[in-house]
Amino acid sequence: MLKMNAGVWIGIIGGIIGLAVGVGAVVATGGSEGKYIALGMLLLFGGVFYLLYRLIFKPMINMARLQKTGIPARATILEVKDTGVTINNSPQVKLVLEVKNSFGQKYTTQTRVLVSRINPNAYMPGMEIPVKVDSKNELNVVVDFSGGAPASNTANMAFNQTAVQAELEQIEKENEIIRTSGKPARAIIKKNTFLGVNVNGNNPWVLLELEVLPEGSSSFSASTKGVIKESSVPKFQPGCEIYVKYDFYDNSKVAIDHS
């Protein structure tokens, strides 16, 4: 966080210095019209800079500060709204939250957060997530990335049931093809990411990042989505070995071998 925050400040200060130098050069060399040109530059570039600061730099600075100094709390997501902003191909969304503070009191506020393209359902209405609250302004809240993954609950399952079921069915069709014609192999789980939804009870839907170890061939990295039985969750943790099937012609296609 410290490096990111310093980089943000360097970018802001560098932009201000560049604008000041440009305006000064125009005033010095532009004659009587230089003042008007300089004013136009200030209005144009100043407005653009202000928008960038409000939409990108200020939230980043606030996020970095509260990650270190904010008060831990829990919040329930009421709404998720697209802001129309994308940073490094990751969309930014606005979360409308119901926060529960340390005194048990509840109130509504908003925050913005980037969503990974590989986990678009990371934040959905009904989820309970960890947050950090500004001690001087309880409406200033950010997602607490040190507090673990969002928790799924009954409201979340009900809201997402149709969309999730459709995606699960599609993924299961693709996985069944791989299981039928793919080659068996051992795999080591490198990372297990909960996708925010439990299926048919408390069976989590997860994204597994794997190191696949084909017999007689070089190992390779791959990922797959699947539903894990609640009783089998301990067997699907980072470092555990599982069995998979993979497409010999396309190693990116891997499925958990439940047989």
For the chain, what are the domain ranges?
2-68, 70-143, 157-256
Between the alpha carbon of residue 153 and those of residues 31, 199, 203, the distances in Å are 67, 11, 12
Q: Centre a 10 Å sphere on the Cβ of residue 119 and count the other Cβ atoms it contains.
A: 14
d(Cα 153, Cα 250) in Å, to the nearest integer? 36
Q: For the ranges 23-32, 58-67, 242-251, which has the lowest average pLDDT?
A: 23-32
* Residues 152, 197 contacting (CB under 8 angstroms): yes
| Residue 223, C-beta contacts closer than 8 angstroms, at least 6 positions apart | 207, 208, 209, 210, 254
Fold designation for 70-143: OB fold (Dihydrolipoamide Acetyltransferase, E2P) (2.40.50)
Lowest mean pLDDT among 152-166, 193-207, 212-226: 152-166
pLDDT score, position 157: 41
185 pLDDT above the threshold of 50: yes
* Mean pLDDT, residues 169-192 taken together: 90
84-122 per-position pLDDT tens digit:
877 777 788 899 999 986 666 789 999 988 887 666 777
Look over the chain and give the mean of its residue pLDDT values, rounded to a whole number: 78
Arithmetic mean of pLDDT, 181-190: 93
Question: What pTM was estimated for this model as a whole?
Answer: 0.44
Alpha-carbon distance of 62 to 54, in angstroms, equals 11
Structure letter (DSSP) for residue 151:
B
From 59-68, 129-138, 153-162, 248-257, the region with the lowest mean pLDDT: 153-162
